[in-house]
């Protein structure tokens, strides 16, 4: 298991770093504070005359056009999902997600194996060791 864990990490480590960085940038862009509201954008965001929100729905006015880093949310999403690089990028993104699942399971498996090895050798039980 250790051999597979090591070899898969050599290939997918770069892609997982890419996915992590673009995912963080995507969330930072969403959470980035918006600038001062534009009065023209607020006027355009009002619903048309005669519009009524259907029962049980929570209607919101359309969002004004984003500016600054918020305007890049879509770009970060396409980079994060691999869509920018076509079908191959999407496939690599999905495989990287599956690799992350593999690393999680194999990492826990390796930890349990090391824990059992220490226990069998009658060494002091610890959560972490050198």
pTM score, whole prediction: 0.56
The arithmetic mean of pLDDT across residues 36-44, rounded, is: 59
Residue holding tokens 């599956």? 98
- Digit-coded pLDDT (tens) for 51-92: 777 888 877 665 666 677 778 888 888 888 888 889 998 899
Residue 88 is predicted with a pLDDT of: 92
pLDDT at 53: 79
Q: Where are the domains of the chain?
A: 1-33+66-130
| Whether the predicted pLDDT of 2 surpasses 80 | no
Among positive and negative, which fits the CA dihedral 103, 109, 113, 114?
A: positive
- Picking from 105, 124, 77, 106, the residue whose alpha carbon sits closest to that of residue 2 is 106
Alpha carbon of residue 113 to chain centroid: 30
User: Could you read off the pLDDT of 90-111 as tens digits, one per residue?
Assistant: 899 889 889 888 888 888 888 8
- Backbone angle region of 68, left / alpha / beta, with phi > 0 → left and psi within -120 to 50 → alpha: left
């Amino acid at each position: 298991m250790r051999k597979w864990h090591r070899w898969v990490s050599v290939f997918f480590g770069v892609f997982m770093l890419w996915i992590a960085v673009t995912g963080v940038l995507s969330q930072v862009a969403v959470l980035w504070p918006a600038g001062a509201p534009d009065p023209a954008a607020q006027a355009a965001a009002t619903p048309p005359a005669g519009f009524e929100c259907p029962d049980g729905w929570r209607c919101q006015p359309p969002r004004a056009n984003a500016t600054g880093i918020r305007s890049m949310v879509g770009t970060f999403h396409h980079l994060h999902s691999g869509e920018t690089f076509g079908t191959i990028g999407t496939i690599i993104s999905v495989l990287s997600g599956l690799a992350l699942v593999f690393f999680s399971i194999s990492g826990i498996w390796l930890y349990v194996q090391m824990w059992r090895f220490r226990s069998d050798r009658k060494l002091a039980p610890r959560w972490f060791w050198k």
